Structure 1
Amino acid sequence: MNRTALTEAGTAMRSTPGKNGRAYAVIALLAASTFTFITVENMPIGLLTLMAPSFETPPAMIGLLVTGYAVIVSLASIPLTKLSMGIPRRRLLCSAIALLVLATLSTAFAPNYYVLLGGRILGALAHAVFWSIVATTAVSLFDRPKHGTVISIVFAGSSLGTVLGIPAVVWIANQQGWRPTFLVMSALGICIFILLSILLPGGSRDDEDTSSGSTPDRRTFRAIMLTAAVGVSGIFIAQTYITLFLTEATGLRTSELSLALLAAGISGVLGVFLGGWLAPRKPNVAIAGPLALISVAMFCAYAGAASVMLVVVMFSVVALGFSAFAAAVQVRVLIVAPGSTDIASATSSTMFNIGIGSGALIGGAVVENLDVRTTALASGSLAAIAVFVFLLGLSPAAQRQVGIRRRNLKKVPLEPGNMQ
């Protein structure tokens, strides 16, 4: 299909109510997909104390599954994105989801730690492809002025992975064991695969008006990427071992973990909409503000570790800040990307997973050599450093664009855009 035909198809799509409903349905499915990927990625964190005895390994070894997953994603995101640039989004997204289902099933039936690790590697490869294109796929369905809102909706699914997914799998695991939780997530993945394969439009990505950044700024893009790597590393020093922190440092009972994670997840959902709203309006605040908030919250958690209420509130603040930061980064990436937005999104995914992996690794070292409470101190310190990294790396053009972008921001109804 040529560019003219695609444009005509997009016009017809906007004028047909049934097709408009199809766009909204696709966005809902993409949000469900981010929910599934985030839940599966972080299940070893919530099930840390249950999975370790099954494989006769210390909790830190299960924590390393998060590190290994992140390392694979970090190494594979950009190469796989470049290799798959010519593949239609529907085929690519559905293939990633199918691979995740296979990986999750292999984890559910893993007889030993090495098979478990193999399943995580498969899941990481699916993750690398999925997160490089999910945001650009979502915004390609709508006009540019509403990209922040669209990103918020899609990323709300990832936050719900914390608010619903992790507490739900912890509850199921406490009732039935940890393996059935992976079977449940496999079934959800199969449902999403079927529906997306029917509803998501195919076609080439080359004709989309979202294939490049609207205001390219290489220096600001680099600053955001470096900030993401440092900031996310700081966050996951403590976040990877949140269950140990709550039970050992704070004294929370295991039966109450689900409620604590639920509180953090609710905050995360609010944070993702906050980040999506702030990013086009106050871009610098949207990036630096959440990291500063996280830093303060982690220092408070360290100082008041004996107070269950204080620690739960502080980890909820961290969840809000992290979700706001993640959403803001993705919106900004689509604006300042110096080249292909798919490659820029893959780079963002790489930086986030470098942060997740290094954070989990540092956190494991802190737990093994010091104590779990100290993870909060290390987390707060690195988050504060990330704020300075961002402010020092901004280009002068980024400062000028803040005022210009705020003046040009239009209040446009959320109408589907060009669907291929």
Structure 2
Amino acid sequence: MLAALMLAAFTFNTAENLPIGLLDLVSDSLGVSLPAVGLLVTGYGVTVAVASLPLAHALRAVPRRHVLTGVLAALVVSSLGGAVAGSYWPLLGARLLTALAQALFWAVTGPVAVGLFAPEVRGRVVGALSVAGSLALVLGVPAGTWLGRQHGWPVPVACLAVPGLVCLVTIAALLPASRPEDEPAAYGGSPDVRRFTTVLAAGFLSATGAFAGYTYLVTFLNEVSGFAPGTAGALLAVFGAACLAGVSVTAALLDRFPHVALPTAVATQALGMLGLSAAGGRQAVAVLCLVLMGGALGPVFMTAQNAMLHWAPGRTDLALAANSGAYNAGIAAGAALGGLILPLAGARGTFLAGGLLTAGACVVLLVGGRGRRGVGADAEAR
């Protein structure tokens, strides 16, 4: 069952980011501008941000088996529909259907997955889902980009229906149709409204900061660091590999050090971004800071999700939906902020602003956590 959920996480994250490598192909094929095709990515993120909590709330009483099979059916239909779309608007509609499915998927998957295991290993379960999601950037998107350039962009879009169908059949056959409120991880282990809101705020700030710079990373590497344009692919692969490594290491340690995992990840992201802004003109330093930022980006979201399972003041699915919505809102806000800063202060300025926002997230976590017991203390008490 966990393997099926991991495969679903991989497939959804691949679907989300696949257009990034196919923008020019879609633009030429459908006869629309690159900015219009870019809406296939930004519109997706905005949809997830807006829809996560309302969808989770509306379907809070529906058995998780039915919800998951429904979202996977939507993934299959939207993948096939997008592949046969002969014009821009049907393709955009298929993308938005996938986004709605993903918004609900991340809300319900965490409680379902961790509920299959004992509480003392739940951090590793959250980590396993995050590793699968991170593999989409390292394997799924590059493979889909290659396939699209060999056989046309509809081919990798349609291929996403295959793992989606496998996951749908597996979950429909194996996951019990129990009431959501009766599941082992339906409610937070240590409900705490203050910590819950602190994590939400820190997640939004860190996502805004990260994507204020990351959106213009290639521009920074070319204009500030002086890398040749042909090296961008290799440097992005280094970033993706660092993200996967960071998630893997954090997943292995999350159950032992849950109370410091999120602040450590956010601080590492801030260090990498501020380092790029201050000394990114030196190529060796730029690569080091790129690794720090990449190694922290995935763990920030993963550790925030894990914190939600502990501190949710009510149902964990609603808490996870709120966290996903806040993070995706931060992604959209960061990309917009970076676009405003770029013509005024250049690519270096986008990373300075992003690093300062991420440092602000560190302050929020420190202030919000004062005088209260951490997750680790709660776990030890139990």
Q: Same fold (TM over 0.5)?
A: yes
1:318 is matched with: 293
The Cα of 1:180 is off from its aligned counterpart by 2.4
Q: Does 1:172 pair with 2:147?
A: yes
SS in 2 for 1:291: helix
SS in 2 for 1:396: coil
- Give, in whole Å, the separation in 2 of the partners of 1:211 and 1:195: 22
1:17 is matched with: none
How many residues align structurally? 382
SS in 1 for 2:190: coil
- TM-score, normalised relative to structure 2: 0.89
2:55 pairs, out of 65, 75, 80, with 80
1:389 is matched with: 364
The worse-fitting range, judged by mean Cα deviation, of 52-61 and 371-380 is 52-61
2:260 is matched with: 285
2:237 pairs, out of 259, 262, 277, with 262
Matched-pair identity in %: 33
Q: Does 1:156 pair with 2:131?
A: yes
CA deviation profile, 1:28-48 (whole Å, cap 9, x unmatched)? 111111111111112233444
CA deviation profile, 1:60-118 (whole Å, cap 9, x unmatched)? 54444333222222221112112212222122112111212222333334444433322
The Cα of 1:181 is off from its aligned counterpart by 2.3
How has the CA–CA distance of structure 1 residues 363 and 204 changed in structure 2, closer, same or farther, with 3 Å as cutoff?
Answer: same
- Show structure 1 runs of 5+ residues with no match: 1-25, 409-420
1:357 is matched with: 332
- TM-score, normalised relative to structure 1: 0.81
Q: Does 1:275 pair with 2:269?
A: no
CA deviation profile, 1:216-275 (whole Å, cap 9, x unmatched)? 111001100111111111112233344555566656567655443332232222222333
The Cα of 1:190 is off from its aligned counterpart by 2.4
Q: CA RMSD in A?
A: 2.7
- Give, in whole Å, the separation in 1 of the partners of 2:71 and 2:203: 24
The worse-fitting range, judged by mean Cα deviation, of 196-205 and 344-353 is 196-205
The worse-fitting range, judged by mean Cα deviation, of 27-36 and 113-122 is 113-122
The worse-fitting range, judged by mean Cα deviation, of 69-78 and 167-176 is 167-176
- Give, in whole Å, the separation in 2 of the partners of 1:52 and 1:252: 27
The worse-fitting range, judged by mean Cα deviation, of 125-134 and 48-57 is 48-57
1:339 is matched with: 314
How has the CA–CA distance of structure 1 residues 228 and 117 changed in structure 2, closer, same or farther, with 3 Å as cutoff?
Answer: same
C-alpha contact 2:191 2:314 (8 A) present in aligned 1: yes
How has the CA–CA distance of structure 1 residues 343 and 170 changed in structure 2, closer, same or farther, with 3 Å as cutoff?
Answer: same
SS in 1 for 2:4: helix
C-alpha contact 2:120 2:255 (8 A) present in aligned 1: no
1:405 is matched with: 379
1:230 is matched with: 205
- Give, in whole Å, the separation in 2 of the partners of 1:188 and 1:306: 43
SS in 2 for 1:397: coil
C-alpha contact 1:167 1:258 (8 A) present in aligned 2: no
2:75 pairs, out of 100, 123, 126, with 100
- Give, in whole Å, the separation in 2 of the partners of 1:171 and 1:162: 13
How has the CA–CA distance of structure 1 residues 165 and 139 changed in structure 2, closer, same or farther, with 3 Å as cutoff?
Answer: same
The Cα of 1:202 is off from its aligned counterpart by 2.5
How has the CA–CA distance of structure 1 residues 270 and 97 changed in structure 2, closer, same or farther, with 3 Å as cutoff?
Answer: same
- The one-letter amino acid paired with 1:339 is G
1:209 is matched with: 184
- The one-letter amino acid paired with 2:159 is V
Q: Does 1:32 pair with 2:7?
A: yes
- The one-letter amino acid paired with 1:117 is L
